[in-house]
Structure 1
Amino acid sequence: MYFDQNQVISEVFHFDHSNENNEVFHIAYGVDKNFLFGCVTSITSILLNNTKQEFHFHIFSDYLDDDFKKRIELLAKQYRSKISVYIVNCQELKRLPSTKNWSYATYFRFIIADILYPAIDRLLYIDADIICKGSLGELIKLDINEFLVAAVKEKDISWWQKCAKRLEIDNLSQGYFNAGFLYINLENWQKEGVSSKAMKLLEQESVKSKLDYLDQDLLNMIMVNNVFFLDKRYNCQYSINYELKVPNGTYYKNPIEDSTIFIHYIGPTKPWHEWAGNYPCSKYFIEAKNNSPWKDSTLLSAKNANQWRYCAKHKFHQGKNVAGLIGYFKYYWFKIVR
């Protein structure tokens, strides 16, 4: 174990309205303030589509205000589930590599795996920009005793080969996974010392220089040959910005199917952004939101230059030219003035 709860967790809040007699499936999220809205909507989507299963959700975050506390309590009560929120002291994590698209919160999954073991031996970790639209029954029954994780391969063989070459690990050419969805064998994770290995790799400049996807690269390096690969229906990736590739008034052909269980909204535009809510691909998020204590909450407005840029592009794509011009004005204002 690399992370000590007494050092990295400052507070824990439990919201428990579950039936303790049923078998519980554990699901965890690691989020900063910007992804909390997505996180609670993701939780709602799972509960909506798995009404007979008992869940305990674990949210690791650096932020929780009184309004979110009240609504999380209502969410747990509405769906008779248990939600625990762990407030993370992020001072040490802020020293680790990060980018504008990957904050220090990307390392929360290492903390989660260390803190929740040995009380839990199996755990589903998912990113907050993932929405559920199907049953987790098969996944819950999946035997991963001989593996560190079950995950879904990223892209295709040509991509795996590029990652294998970049990270200098030949066997990655057989499959490189996306770390937004990880069904983790916590017992094997501890036996292999995954968190410690990752932190030691980050201390090496020769390794850091190879990392394009930070913790995802690290996990692929450490877990190579020890992953059970799942079907893409468990991590169906889709970028809402793909909608900008087609003519106005039409929608991009997305890969979301009836059999899809989890939709992963990759890219900078998320379904909780105000400029994304009108697309058919966002309907699964909107449905979950409308069945949660956040049903009266508005979708989020742009807050930085990058978000205003995409907001403007989408407004023009949607035929809202005045809003598009305003978006570009704010983009340049944030970029130049701020």
Structure 2
Amino acid sequence: MFFDKQNAVVKRIDLSSSDVLRSSDSLHISYGIDRNFLYGCGISIASILKNNTDINFVFHIFTDYFDDEWERLFKALAYQYNTSLVIYVVDCEQLKSLPSTKNWSYATYFRFIIADYFSNQLDKMIYMDADIMCQGSLNELLHVTFNGDEVAAVVPERDSVWWAKRADALGIPSIEKGYFNAGFLLINLENWSRLNISTKAMELLSQEEVKTKLSFLDQDILNMLLTGKVIYLDKKYNTQYSLNYELQKDKKENPITSSTILVHYIGPTKPWHEWANYETAKPFLDARAASPWRKVPLLKAKNSNHLRYCAKHFYHQKSYPLFLKMYLKYFYQKLF
């Protein structure tokens, strides 16, 4: 393990419904987020519960921030759906030295803490990014079995051309056979611990030669470590879509279909942003309407990156007064 389990989690808050019936066959789902993704996380959980009334869940949320208002909302969610929900407040100091970008904070490394934390408690667990929304049954995932050294069930990203590019960039030829997106991981916790994946990942991240090869931070690291040790699932369990595609003149074909189970909203514009007013955000909006967040306003743009996209989207939506307002805010923030 790369961290001290006893000290990494500084507070545990059990918000589970008092009427929940815990069972040994529950599906455990975890999230690792900073405060900017708490809204999305709540709706992601609501979307799962709304579409899977026949499954017992236990949700585990690892975060660096949690206040009384968030506790009220997540507790209301747990009671609304009579489910188990536990918050883990994490000391992030040892993660802040790791590589990060404006789109990926140190919270991206929470998945390593999560896998280590539960390694001696559970056989398997789903890790899911908070920008993933559910619109179908997860029942098949209850029956995934692992063999040998298989560490995770994952969903491949893009195609064989992309895999070859990542294999070349990372210097791992076997990645040419498959490169996965780390936003969804069904983790075999026993093998993760036995093969010491978290420690090996941190060792790689400490090497300057390795860091220069990385474009997708811990996702690249996991592909390097788990090559040949994963089960590939259908893309319906991690269908990626960027709401910024809506801005393109020759917009990509919408990959979200009736058979899609998990929609992954990649990119800086998230469905909980007030400028994400598109039909493709419907899985999020439907779940929000069936959650304690139904009357909580969508989030406004704050930083310059969000203001820029906000202005672009309002212009695309022909909301010209809002476009002008956001563009001026963006221009002012860039100047000062």
- How high is the TM-score relative to the length of structure 2? 0.97
Separation in 2, partners of 1:111, 1:39: 18
Deviation digits for residues 2-51 of structure 1 (CA, Å, limit 9, x no counterpart): 22222211100011222124621100000000000000100000000000
Q: Secondary structure at the match of 1:335?
A: helix
Partner of 2:15: 15
Q: Secondary structure at the match of 1:92?
A: helix
Partner of 1:190: 193
Q: 1:163 aligns with which of 153, 161, 166?
A: 166
Percentage of identical aligned residues = 52
Separation in 1, partners of 2:163, 2:117: 31
Partner of 1:309: 308
Partner of 1:46: 48
Partner of 1:288: 287
Separation in 1, partners of 2:331, 2:32: 32
Letter matched to residue 289 of structure 1:
R
Q: Would you identify which runs of 4 or more consecutive aligned residues in structure 1 move more than 6 Å?
A: none
Task: Please say if residues 29 and 59 of structure 2, whose CA atoms lie closer than 8 Å, have aligned partners that are also in contact.
Answer: yes
Q: How far did 1:145 drift?
A: 3.6
Q: 1:227 aligns with which of 211, 225, 230?
A: 230
Q: Secondary structure at the match of 2:202?
A: helix
Give the alignment of 1:1-338 within 5 angstroms.
1-17=1-17, 18-21=20-23, 23-146=25-148, 147-246=150-249, 253-276=253-276, 278-337=277-336
Deviation digits for residues 210-258 of structure 1 (CA, Å, limit 9, x no counterpart): 11110000000000000101111000000000000138xxx86310011
CA 102–21 in structure 1, closer or farther in 2 if over 3 Å, else same: closer
Structure 1, unpaired ranges of 5+: none
Q: Secondary structure at the match of 2:3?
A: coil
CA 21–127 in structure 1, closer or farther in 2 if over 3 Å, else same: closer
Separation in 2, partners of 1:121, 1:290: 34
Q: Secondary structure at the match of 1:95?
A: coil
CA 174–188 in structure 1, closer or farther in 2 if over 3 Å, else same: same
Separation in 1, partners of 2:229, 2:335: 47
Separation in 1, partners of 2:24, 2:75: 20
Structure 2, unpaired ranges of 5+: none
Task: Please say if residues 146 and 188 of structure 2, whose CA atoms lie closer than 8 Å, have aligned partners that are also in contact.
Answer: yes
Task: Please say if residues 273 and 301 of structure 1, whose CA atoms lie closer than 8 Å, have aligned partners that are also in contact.
Answer: yes
Deviation digits for residues 125-153 of structure 1 (CA, Å, limit 9, x no counterpart): 01000000000011111112431000011
Letter matched to residue 316 of structure 1:
Y
Q: How far did 1:116 drift?
A: 1.4
Q: Secondary structure at the match of 1:48?
A: helix
CA 21–184 in structure 1, closer or farther in 2 if over 3 Å, else same: closer
Separation in 2, partners of 1:102, 1:239: 15
Letter matched to residue 75 of structure 2:
E
RMSD: 1.2
Separation in 1, partners of 2:155, 2:24: 29
CA 241–162 in structure 1, closer or farther in 2 if over 3 Å, else same: same
Deviation digits for residues 46-96 of structure 1 (CA, Å, limit 9, x no counterpart): 000000110000000000010111111111111111001000001110111
Separation in 1, partners of 2:82, 2:120: 25
Q: Secondary structure at the match of 2:101?
A: coil
The total of aligned residue pairs comes to 333
Separation in 2, partners of 1:155, 1:20: 38
CA 95–22 in structure 1, closer or farther in 2 if over 3 Å, else same: closer
Separation in 1, partners of 2:252, 2:320: 21
Moved more, 64-73 or 102-111: 64-73
Letter matched to residue 7 of structure 2:
Q
Deviation digits for residues 193-220 of structure 1 (CA, Å, limit 9, x no counterpart): 0000001111111111111110000000
Letter matched to residue 244 of structure 1:
L
Deviation digits for residues 135-189 of structure 1 (CA, Å, limit 9, x no counterpart): 0011111112431000011111111001000100000001100000000000000
Q: How far did 1:331 drift?
A: 1.0
